[in-house]
């Protein structure tokens, strides 16, 4: 399958996003509808739709979870606006994310021309109404506030209209018209108590992109990354950045560390790609050629090693290693495409490796960071026999897997293709091929970091008042979650989510948050609101972080995907499961939230009975009984997580990724 040429359509824009960042520019039904409490007042009606596509209630039972709101406040005067109706959730840290079971406000502002009634509702990821109500409004600009709380975690969209005058919420930035979004963060500690990390680099999730929110000030990572559970970010020690005008100007020391890393809770992946013009054989800054003097590069890298060793000791004492990424997408075309010889590629890695290791005894030097999973395998197969493997302590890759990674190209799309050559391009198969190559060529225990994987909206689309649709947002979130679960389940130690909020690229929609300030997206937005993907990431980090991978489940039916993880220190088993069917998943006919498949999961010994906890894709928990060691599940296109206790039973039913040594 030819994946490179179509992929290049998005490559240059993604590379711009990466450069902007470097330069500092910025399914399980929890409760049936009948259990949901009505919100509102002033004539509000209780509201909730049916189960919709969120899950099958046969998957489990739990205490009823709901969203509740108090009586609408008295109307307060508001600033005049051209918007007939506005909605927001003031009072967050800027992310529009709130803790489960904590109070939050919904502010509804109207500018009616006469007395009217505002009808409002809150819908979830599956377009199910979770709260609704109505209240009278006066003419003119006024704001009414609802004080709310939710025991249900997840993504939510507010909509509103006037009974007589009509209208809806206007689009805002990259967010389409008709909705204002917010999220409720899950608390899974009752099911999965916090683990004790022996070292900080056991955390498994990172990200690209910043958001300069009021609570974070000039720190573009907080509160966004800490709210989401992202523990890794890129830090730049690129030669062309640190010594753009001549040699020996970079002086190592702890003072080189950017303030946003000094708290020590977000770790550094140290970027080394790029040669300054004065050291380049072309006379210009380049990532496509080796330097004119490898000795000069080795000298610079030795100073970077000194710098990193001092920083780790001062700010990251619980991080066991420093991790370096040498090149960036040398396969991808555009400004990072490798144009030099194979011998010079290996020689450049040798210079970096020897320089870093001469001063940093805890260095992990990694590459080659090709854009597509399979080209990483191909480069390893080509360059390792030429000596590259000697200069790699691990592998960094980007996790793109198709001719565009978007909802209509999910990671499982080709898994059932009758052609073995095509099926090999599905993400699970590509990852297994890569792990085999790593096992053949690299040192035992070599780490595998996936340092960028993004899911956009579908090809041929653009930001606009009517796009994305609710169905596209649902599918986007599901594919984001499934892609990163496959990467980790197939043996990646760590994975990066790309991108924080919508960047100005084509195809659009890589962000897991809307950019509310810019209609075409921007880098480092100061005004964001979550998509379903953000809340699925927030749940995934809370559930999967603090685990090591057991592997993929054996003998699952076609169309079922299942990966088992174990909490650190001999803890509980978490099995992520979903189903996918191409026939019910397309841009033209829609992405089915209701397609399902039964699956029986073995969680205990034969003859044993008990209960397991099931977490939905948003992190909401319910319990489910099992008998004879097996639990019956109904799987959908949205992952669920089954938490069980019998590790030996699960270990006997999985295939561990080749060469994977755990966290």
- What does the DSSP assignment read for 229-264? T--EEEEE--HHHHSSSSTT----SGGGS-GGGTTS
Per the DSSP assignment, residues forming a β-bridge with 233 are 268
Q: How far apart are CA 290 and CA 274, in angstroms?
A: 9
For β-strands 447-454 and 394-397, DSSP reports them as: parallel
Which residue reads 């109207």 in tokens?
Answer: 110
Q: How far apart are CA 97 and CA 228, in angstroms?
A: 9
CB 383 within 8 A of CB 437: no
Quote the tokens at residue 566.
């174990």
Residues of the chain with pLDDT under 50: 1-14, 16, 19-58
Provide CB contacts within 8 A for 386, sequence distance 6+: 342, 343, 346
What confidence score (pLDDT) does residue 62 get? 65
What confidence score (pLDDT) does residue 332 get? 77
Domain spans of the chain?
A: 33-185, 206-414+429-466+494-533
CATH architecture designation of domain 33-185: Sandwich (2.60)
Which H or E run contains 17? helix 4-22
Quote the tokens at residue 70.
């108090």
CA 208: distance to chain centroid? 9
Nearest to 38 by CA among 57, 66, 73, 74: 66
Number of Cβ atoms within 10 Å of the Cβ of 5: 9
Q: What angle do CA 287, 289, 293 make, to 5 degrees?
A: 110
Q: What are phi and psi of 485, to 5 degrees?
A: -65, -40
Provide CB contacts within 8 A for 81, sequence distance 6+: 109, 111, 141
Quote the tokens at residue 345.
């590629």
Which residue reads 């599956």 in tokens?
Answer: 126
Nearest to 610 by CA among 645, 576, 650, 647: 645
Terminal-to-terminal C-alpha distance of the chain:
34
Which H or E run contains 239? helix 239-242
Q: What are phi and psi of 77, to 5 degrees?
A: -60, 140
Q: Domain 206-414+429-466+494-533: what homologous superfamily?
A: Glycosidases (3.20.20.80)
Q: What are phi and psi of 482, to 5 degrees?
A: -65, -40
Q: What are phi and psi of 585, to 5 degrees?
A: -145, 90
Q: How far apart are CA 475 and CA 406, in angstroms?
A: 9
What confidence score (pLDDT) does residue 663 get? 86
For the chain, how are helix, strand and coil distributed in percent, rounded to 5? 25, 30, 45
What confidence score (pLDDT) does residue 333 get? 87
Strands, E assignment, 354-411: 363-368, 394-397
Strand, helix or coil for residue 597: strand
Q: How far apart are CA 126 and CA 390, in angstroms?
A: 50
Q: How far apart are CA 55 and CA 635, in angstroms?
A: 8
Which H or E run contains 465? none
What is the crossing angle of helices 342-359 and 373-383, to 10°?
90
CA 625: distance to chain centroid? 31
Which residue reads 């929110």 in tokens?
Answer: 213
Quote the tokens at residue 543.
């559930």
Nearest to 143 by CA among 106, 180, 178, 173: 106
Which residue reads 């009586």 in tokens?
Answer: 71
Quote the tokens at residue 289.
């050629």
């Amino acid at each position: 399958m030819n994946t490179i040429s179509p992929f290049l359509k998005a490559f240059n824009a993604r590379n711009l996003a990466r450069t902007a960042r470097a330069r500092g520019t910025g399914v399980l039904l929890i409760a049936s509808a009948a259990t949901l409490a009505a919100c509102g007042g002033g004539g509000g009606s209780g509201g909730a739709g049916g189960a919709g596509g969120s899950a099958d209630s046969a998957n489990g039972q739990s205490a009823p979870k709901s969203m509740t709101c108090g009586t609408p406040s008295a109307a307060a005067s508001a600033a005049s606006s051209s918007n007939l109706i506005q909605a927001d959730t003031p009072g967050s840290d800027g992310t529009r994310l709130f803790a489960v079971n904590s109070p939050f406000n919904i502010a509804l502002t109207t500018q009616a021309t006469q007395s009217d009634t505002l009808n409002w509702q809150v819908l979830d990821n599956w377009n199910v109404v979770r709260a609704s109500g109505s209240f009278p409004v006066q003419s003119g600009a006024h704001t009414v506030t609802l004080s709310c709380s939710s025991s249900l975690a997840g993504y939510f969209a507010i909509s509103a209209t006037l009974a007589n005058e009509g209208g809806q919420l206007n689009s805002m930035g990259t967010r389409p018209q008709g909705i204002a979004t917010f999220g409720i963060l899950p608390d899974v500690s009752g099911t999965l108590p916090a683990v004790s990390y022996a070292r900080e680099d056991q955390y498994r999730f990172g990200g690209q992109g910043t958001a300069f929110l009021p609570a974070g000030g000039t720190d573009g990572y907080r509160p966004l990354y800490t709210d989401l559970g992202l523990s890794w970010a890129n830090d730049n020690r690129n030669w062309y950045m640190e010594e753009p005008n001549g040699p020996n100007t970079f002086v190592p020391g702890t003072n080189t560390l950017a303030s946003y890393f000094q708290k020590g809770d977000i770790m550094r992946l140290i970027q080394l790609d790029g040669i300054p013009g004065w050291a380049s054989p072309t006379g210009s800054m380049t990532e496509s050629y080796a330097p004119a003097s490898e000795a000069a590069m080795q000298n610079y890298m030795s100073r970077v090693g000194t710098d990193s060793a001092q920083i780790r000791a001062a700010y990251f004492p619980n991080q066991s290693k420093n991790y370096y990424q040498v090149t960036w997408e040398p396969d991808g075309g555009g400004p990072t495409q490798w144009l030099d010889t194979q011998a010079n590629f290996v020689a450049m890695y040798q210079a970096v490796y020897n320089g870093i290791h001469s001063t940093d005894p805890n260095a992990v030097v990694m590459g080659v960071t090709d854009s597509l999973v399979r080209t990483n395998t191909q480069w390893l197969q080509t360059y390792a026999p030429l000596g590259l493997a000697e200069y790699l302590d691990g592998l960094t890759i980007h996790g793109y897997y198709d001719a565009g990674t978007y909802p209509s190209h999910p990671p499982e799309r080709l898994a059932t293709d009758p052609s073995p050559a095509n099926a090999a391009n599905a993400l699970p198969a590509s990852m297994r091929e890569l792990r085999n190559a790593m096992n053949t060529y690299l040192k035992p225990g070599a780490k595998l970091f996936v340092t960028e994987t993004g899911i956009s909206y579908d090809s041929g689309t653009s930001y606009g008042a009517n796009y994305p649709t609710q169905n596209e947002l649902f599918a986007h979130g599901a594919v984001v979650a499934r892609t990163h679960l496959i990467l980790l389940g197939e043996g990646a130690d760590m994975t990066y989510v790309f991108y924080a909020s919508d960047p100005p690229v084509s195809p659009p929609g890589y962000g897991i948050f809307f950019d509310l300030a810019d209609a075409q997206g921007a880098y480092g937005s100061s005004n964001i609101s979550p998509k379903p993907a953000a809340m699925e990431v927030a749940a995934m980090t809370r559930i999967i972080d603090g685990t090591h991978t057991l592997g993929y489940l054996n003998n699952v039916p076609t169309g079922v995907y299942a990966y088992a993880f174990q909490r650190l220190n001999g803890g509980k088993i978490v099995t992520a499961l979903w189903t996918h069917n191409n026939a019910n998943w397309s841009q033209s006919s829609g992405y089915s939230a209701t397609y399902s498949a039964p699956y029986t999961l073995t969680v205990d010994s034969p003859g044993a009975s008990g209960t397991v906890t099931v977490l939905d894709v948003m992190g909401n928990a319910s319990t489910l009984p099992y008998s004879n060691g097996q639990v019956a599940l109904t799987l959908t296109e949205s992952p669920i997580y089954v938490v069980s206790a019998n590790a030996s039973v699960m270990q006997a039913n999985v295939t561990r990724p080749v060469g994977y040594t755990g966290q």
